[in-house]
A and B are shown apart, each in its own frame.
Chain A
Amino acid sequence: MSSNAHLRSSIAAACLLAALASEARADAASCPAQIPLGLTTALTGNLALLGTQARNGAEFAVDEINAAGGIAGKKLQLATEDTGASSTDALNAMNRIIEGKPLVILGSMISPHVFAQTESVNKSETPFLVGATNAKVTAQGSKWLFRTHVHDGQLATLIPEYLIKTLKMTKPGIMAVADDYGLGASKGIQAALAALKVTPAAITSYAPSDKDTSAQLLEIKDKGADSLILFGRPADVALVMKQMGDLGIKLVTIGNSSVVAQTTLNNLSAAEADGGYAIGGMIPQTSTDPKILDWAKRVQEKYKVPADNFTVSYYDTVYMLKAIIEKVGCDKAAIRDALAATKDWKGLLISYQADSVGDLAHTLGIYKNKGKTPELIGPIKEAGY
């Protein structure tokens, strides 16, 4: 055999081996009988509502997939660990999840928890999908971490722009919850307002445990604000909007999805909720698609908690994984590569597309409350998408 013939046959053999290996990797039937997924989320403590809504989305999708026969006949097995409200507990919860050797881990929507967990997940070399909204979550340089929810960096730019350019307000007051989530967003909003050459009338915050925000609201009113940028979680946003009503303060209010979340609106009168704007992750209640409304209704019936933007995000995440496992099988690196190559994958309300750092969600919703009913003004895409 000549050296050329030898080379040709070697290349052919290598190609055959590569093809066979690729075939094995792409075979979902080669997955274990129970495909293990891990989830860490806050189910107790003061973040339990958010964590529960995320858990509901993931669990609902897993149950649907398993009821429909699983992935190539293999059932998904979701192990859930409670993070509580503490980052230390979140890390412990993650370590317990990693001990179970999951194929993929769904992380928290609470950013400090994700920051605490990322190194452990990196060491385990497991794909890590989170909903945490701090813009820096995906800037940690982890090749295993992906985010399937829009982040505060996007909101911090879009909310001031919409308020100033579209709603024509000139003197907003800012109120944000004093934790990583709210204060990070508040800084971003202040920077975006500065870029628009707008000086906020007042910059205030409240502790997550605060029950009375009248002092902050009165400061914003006394300093002549014409509008309020409100950034918080549904329970405290409801409280702020309720106290605005009690104090007779009427300001154009715009904030994150909490302003239009069902859990917020359930605790407000029509007058208190009316006119509130929100930009954020897409919520299902405003959809005109009967299938999506039916989905939201089924989630509510099953869990007695309304589906929110995080429920949608975690539900989509599980279905995205299903599509990927069907395509590449149960190889962690192949799943990671497929996530990084995601392009126009259609979820419940938005399409997902991976960018260079692992952010997959780039479409947000602009909403306005009409009485206690949120209406979708329109989707808005991050610049470049």
Chain B
Amino acid sequence: MGQLVVNGLALGSIYALVALGLLLIFNTVQIVNFAQGQLLMLGAFIGISCAVTHELPIALAWAATIVAMALIGVVFMLLVYFPLRGRPPFLVVLTTIAMGIVLENLALIIWGPLPVSLPSPVRGPPLRFAGVVISMHQLAIFGTLAVILLLQFLLLTKTRFGILMQATAQDLHTARLVGIPVNRTIAVAFALGAVLSGIAGLLVAPLFLAEPTMGGGLGLKGFVVSVIGGFGNLPGAVIGGLFLGLIETFGARYISSDFRDAYAFIVMIAFLTAWPRGLLGEKASEKV
């Protein structure tokens, strides 16, 4: 039982990390980026190229990946969001799906179909307590999630830039009229969203191996946990992620492993039907 809790929380933390990247972009431009999972995959492969292919020290590989992902985030915005801004949101959303497919095929061409592993940034024997094994890497995932949640919360609520992002999200045109550098704000949001996905990729690759199609499922789960948590709410996404990780793990153990993937979508539909605001979502009227 204890082991299931640990593994469920580790899995849920990864879903939450994907969701945090998704929400950073959503909270700025009100667009759901369905290529967030593929950005995660890119982060994993860039890390592998640095740490495994070019044998850079793991800290340097992480730093290089974070810089590369920030640039990729900006390029992504220029290709996907900018040409379609002002158009109906569903067009941008569809373009993110298309871009996800492009990124997957690009990764297949560049890195090939072989699954590859990335060394963990933390080494050491696992902790063992009452028969429960917690690896150092799992602890690193929990720690990274906590730090990123805190930093993101502080960024959005305590910094001027965070307030600019929120203003841009509330009303883009008014934000521009009052002198907010809207384009730069959006570019930073996409860069940070891609960086968060990249970090998730760097954490996933040592645990699950990296391969070009790894992002699709994880990206969708990131969307599901955002819905469960209350779309746009950061602590909600984290709680939703941990909740979904536990549901999947316990469902696979005690109900049936055949439907493991289905649990996520059953839970999402249940929330949308019975509790559409999600766990910590605001009332729609409060946002007006």
Contact = CB atoms under 8 A, between A and B. Distances in A.
Most interface-central of A207, A210, A214, A247 (chain B CB within 10 A): A214
B249 A214 contact: yes
A235 B253 contact: no
B203 to A, nearest CB: 12
A167 B249 CA distance: 32
Interface string A323-350: 0000000000000000000000000000
A238 B115 CA distance: 9
A214 B260 contact: no
9 shortest A-B CB distances, which residue pairs? A215-B252, A49-B113, A48-B113, A215-B253, A235-B115, A211-B208, A214-B7, A209-B217, A46-B213
B56 interface: no
Contacts of A212: 7, 10-11, 208, 248-249
Contacts of B213: 45-46, 48, 209
A44 B105 contact: yes
Contacts of B211: 46, 49, 235
B209 A214 contact: no
9 contacts: A44-B105, A48-B212, A49-B114, A210-B261, A215-B253, A218-B3, A246-B126, A246-B135, A267-B117
A214 B214 contact: no
A239 B205 CA distance: 11
A118 interface: no
A206 B260 contact: yes
Contact of B208 (A206, A234, A239): A239
A219 B105 CA distance: 36
Interface of B: 3-4, 7, 10-11, 104-105, 108, 112-117, 126, 133, 135, 204, 207-209, 211-214, 216-218, 248-253, 257-258, 260-261
Contacts of A219: 253, 257
A204 interface: yes
Nearest to B126: A246
Contacts of A211: 11, 204, 207-208, 214, 217-218
A49 B115 contact: yes
A286 interface: no
B258 A205 contact: yes
Interface string A216-245: 101100000000000000110011001000
Given A44-B105, A234-B115, A238-B209, A215 B214 contact: no
A313 B15 CA distance: 40
A305 interface: yes
Given A216-B252, A218-B3, A219-B253, A305 B112 contact: yes
A178 interface: yes
A247 B133 contact: yes
Contacts of A83: none
Contacts of B115: 49, 234-235, 238, 263, 267
Nearest to B116: A267
Contacts of A178: 257-258
Interface residues of B: mostly helix, strand, loop or mixed? helix
Contacts of B10: 212
Most interface-central of A210, A212, A216, A267 (chain B CB within 10 A): A212
Contacts of B135: 246
A247 B207 CA distance: 12
Most interface-central of A215, A247, A263 (chain B CB within 10 A): A215
A80 interface: no
Contacts of A206: 257, 260
Contacts of B212: 48
Contacts of A218: 3-4, 253
A290 interface: no
Contacts of B116: 266-267
Contacts of A207: 260-261
Contacts of B218: 211
Nearest to B109: A44
Given A210-B260, A239-B209, 4 more contacts: A49-B113, A207-B260, A214-B4, A216-B253
Nearest to B212: A48
A248 interface: yes
Given A205-B257, A214-B4, A267 B112 contact: no
Interface in A247-264: 247-248, 263
A209 B265 CA distance: 14
A118 B233 CA distance: 51
B113 A215 contact: no
A241 to B, nearest CB: 11
Most interface-central of B108, B116, B214, B257 (chain A CB within 10 A): B257
Contacts of B112: 52, 304-305
B107 to A, nearest CB: 10
B209 A235 contact: yes
A115 B230 CA distance: 44
Contacts of A305: 112-114
Given A218-B4, A235-B209, A239-B208, A44 B133 contact: no
A206 B115 CA distance: 18
Given A207-B261, A263-B115, A267-B116, A215 B7 contact: yes
Given A45-B213, A263-B115, A215 B4 contact: yes
Nearest to A221: B3
A95 B248 CA distance: 40
Contacts of A267: 115-117, 209
Contacts of B214: 211
Contacts of B217: 209, 211
A246 B7 CA distance: 11
Interface string A134-158: 0000000000000000000000000
